[in-house]
Each structure stands twice: as structure tokens, then as C-alpha cells.
Amino acid sequence: MKATKFLMKDKSHPDYEKFTLEVKQFEAEYGEDWDGTMIEYDSDFVDLPEYVAMASDKGNFRTVLQWLGKGKVRERVNAKWKDGGNISILLLAAMNQHYDLMSYLLLNGADVNILHFGGDSVLTSSCYEDDDPSKSIRLLLSWGAEHIEKGEQVTKERKLAFRREIAAKGNVEISNLMASELCGRRCEIVSSPKTRDELVGKNRDDIVGKTCEAEEYIVFSDQYKVKMEFTDEVLLLDANKLKRRDRTPQDPGYYVECKNNRLIRRDFKSNEECRAFIASLRTDVKESIEVDPNADAKAEQAAADLLAELGLEDLEGPSSSASKKNQPASSGGKKKKRGGKKKGRK
């Protein structure tokens, strides 16, 4: 809500009226002094700078990726904007439908169920978005996202009420996604299905162990319409033929990497090919560390030197240029060697 209140400052924002209404409704329930509530932070809390949050909101990936790359990416993917209601960089990406950025964060260890100030998960918060959040929600579900509200996983009764609220806002597809256990999730086929192909003698044991996305739940037959990963084949399978197989950084089914502050997506022909690619990346990283244990520090320094040379220090954040100005300037020219004892600095 703090983030929403901050965005209200920009009256030209296309969602200004929506933000204003949300803040008024929130203050009517929790009081106008909610903004002064103290929040306790863990020792590993990473604050997301405001300029990075604003860059993410506007789709400026270059600035976001530069900030992530300035330190160890895995230590920054769960950063929260402290002055923006603890909104996470993952939620910002989901709100703005930046799918490759969402995937990049999750591949690098972002917590898919990270909570913001109100105690809601990214999935729960995304369901309230007006601009058709179905693709973001399906992506989150495939990575194992859960509906968490006020710090607790929602009950069946609350989920039913939640579905009604969402449907009333016109998000019927999102409401339907929440109607079953597997809908929207990545699944594995655990046993050979009974399909029409059996009538013509075609065995479908070939799809056992393969992954798919449960796209739609058919209530009267307790079946799911699924789309196979990698082939896009559509099948109708009994619910007991499926089990959840959430995406993980080790088993994602696809890969998004950052090169020259740009996101590049890689698709594969199978899960085995994808896992082999990821394993090769780990081998390359391990070998580079063994060759030069200071490689990360050198790379970070080289990047800083390049930014300075190009006059782009401001991309590092508002405070970096100020800190550099406060550093004593080094004297130019060569120093002459003098004999005798060295004098200590005063």
C-alpha cells in the first residue's frame, strides 16, 4: 500500500484514480496513521533502491539488471523496497507483466512466495490486478506459488470468497484457476492415460514422466485439459494421472539469462536437454572460480571502471556520485623518490 500511495504522487499515471481509491479503502479499514507502523527487518534484508523500483515499474530493464549485477545476483533477487511497503522486485515485475524478468529472478533463487507489508504473497497480490494478470499468475503457479494472505495460507473457505471477489471484478479466468488443486500448475504425468488412442491400438506410455501445464479443469469428469511441454500437444487427462512438478532453478524447462544487461530466453526440446545446459553452466562457473578465485571482484571493478570512463556513474544510483565526490582526489603526476626516512602522514 505504501508503494501505491507513492505512485499517487504522479497524477499523470494512467492508474492514478485506481491508486487513489485503493488507498482510501485501505485507510478506511486500517486508519489513516497506518503509514507509521514499524516493521522489523531480518539481518539478511536487502533494500531495493527507489530508483531501481521506479525503473522496474517503467520497464527499464537495463537499470534493474545493472543493479542486480553490481553484487551477487542471488543475494539481491529477494530485495524489497522498504519505503514502498516492502514490495518485492518480483511483485513489481509481475504487476507490470515482465515475464522474462520474473523468470530470471526465479531462476536465480527469488522466493516465489515472498511477502510484502500486508503479509500477502505475490500470487495473492497479482490476482487483484486489472490488466489481465492471467499470464503472470500462470507463470507464478508453475513455479509453485501459493495463496498467502496476512502471512497465512488461505483456507478453502477464504479461497472460495476470494474467488467470488475476483470474479466480481471481471477476472473470471483467474477465479477458475483457483477452483482446483492443479489448474495453472506445471505437472508430471505419472501413469499411462486412457485415451481414444487405445481404441486404435496406440500406447501412450511415451508421455509417462513427461511434464505439462494443467490449463483447464473439467469439474463434471474430474479431468484436466493439459498442454504438453516442448510439443504443445493437448490432452484430456484424469486428475489421478497427474502430480505437481513445480519449476525450480534446477528443473525449469526453459532458461532466461542476462547478457550485456539484456534478457535472453532459451527454449529446449526436453527437460533433459534443459538440465544438461544448466549443469554445464555450473561447471563453467566452478572452473572459472578455480582458475581465478578473485574473478567476481575483478569483474565488478572492471564494470565500475567502464561506467566511470563512459560517464555513466549515475546508473549506479543517486548516492554513488555523491560518495565519490567526498573521496579525496588523488594527485596527478609521478612522485619523486627521496632519500632518508619516510615521514608519517599527519
Same domain? 159 vs 204? no
Cα–Cα distance for residue pair 145/138, rounded to 1 Å:
9
Which structural domain, as residue segments, surrounds residue 210? 186-244
Bridge partners of 310, per DSSP, are none
Cα–Cα distance for residue pair 232/223, rounded to 1 Å:
18
pLDDT band at 307 (very low <50, low <70, confident <90, very high): low
Got the DSSP string for 52-67? HHHHHHTT-HHHHHHH
Task: Determine contact, residues 141/185, Cβ cutoff 8 Å.
Answer: yes
Same domain? 29 vs 156? yes
pLDDT (mean) for 100-121: 95
Q: What is the pLDDT of residues 161-189, one digit of tens each?
A: 999 999 888 888 899 988 899 999 999 99
For the chain, strand residue ranges (E) read 80-81, 87-88, 148-149, 152-153, 186-189, 211-218, 223-228, 234-238, 242-244, 254-259, 262-267
Percentage above 90 pLDDT, the chain: 54
**What total of structural domains would you count in the chain?**
3
Which pLDDT value is given to residue 313? 52
Cα–Cα distance for residue pair 333/331, rounded to 1 Å:
7
Checking if the pLDDT of 285 tops 60, the result is: no
Final residue before a domain boundary, out of 177, 197, 219: 177
Quote the mean pLDDT of the chain.
79
The answer as to whether 329 is a domain residue is no
The answer as to whether 341 is a domain residue is no
The answer as to whether 258 is a domain residue is no
Same domain? 85 vs 56? yes
What CATH number is associated with residue 135? 1.25.40.20
Final residue before a domain boundary, out of 200, 229, 244: 244
Amino acid letter at 302? A
The answer as to whether 265 is a domain residue is no
pTM: 0.72
Which pLDDT value is given to residue 128? 84
Same domain? 86 vs 156? yes
Q: What is the pLDDT of residues 60-105, one digit of tens each?
A: 999 999 999 988 899 999 999 988 888 999 999 999 999 999 999 9
174: left (phi over 0), alpha (psi -120 to 50) or beta: alpha
Which pLDDT value is given to residue 289? 37
Same domain? 97 vs 119? yes
The answer as to whether 118 is a domain residue is yes
Which pLDDT value is given to residue 331? 43
The answer as to whether 130 is a domain residue is yes
Which pLDDT value is given to residue 34? 45
The answer as to whether 249 is a domain residue is no
Checking if the pLDDT of 274 tops 50, the result is: yes
Q: What is the pLDDT of residues 4-62, one digit of tens each?
A: 555 545 555 455 555 555 555 455 554 555 444 434 445 578 999 999 999 998 889 99
Angle at 247 between CA 243 and CA 249, to 5 degrees: 145
Q: What is the pLDDT of residues 199-214, one digit of tens each?
A: 455 678 899 999 999 9
pLDDT (mean) for 135-149: 96
Same domain? 190 vs 173? no
Same domain? 58 vs 90? yes
Count of beta carbons in the 10 Å neighbourhood of residue 241 = 20
Which pLDDT value is given to residue 337? 45
Got the DSSP string for 105-129? HHHTT--TT-B-TTS-BHHHHHTT-
Same domain? 191 vs 172? no
Same domain? 127 vs 51? yes
Checking if the pLDDT of 243 tops 80, the result is: yes
Same domain? 123 vs 225? no
Same domain? 149 vs 171? yes
Checking if the pLDDT of 157 tops 70, the result is: yes
Which pLDDT value is given to residue 130? 79
Same domain? 45 vs 100? yes
CB-based contacts of 27: which residues, under 8 Å, 6+ apart? Answer: 34
The answer as to whether 252 is a domain residue is no
Final residue before a domain boundary, out of 177, 194, 217: 177
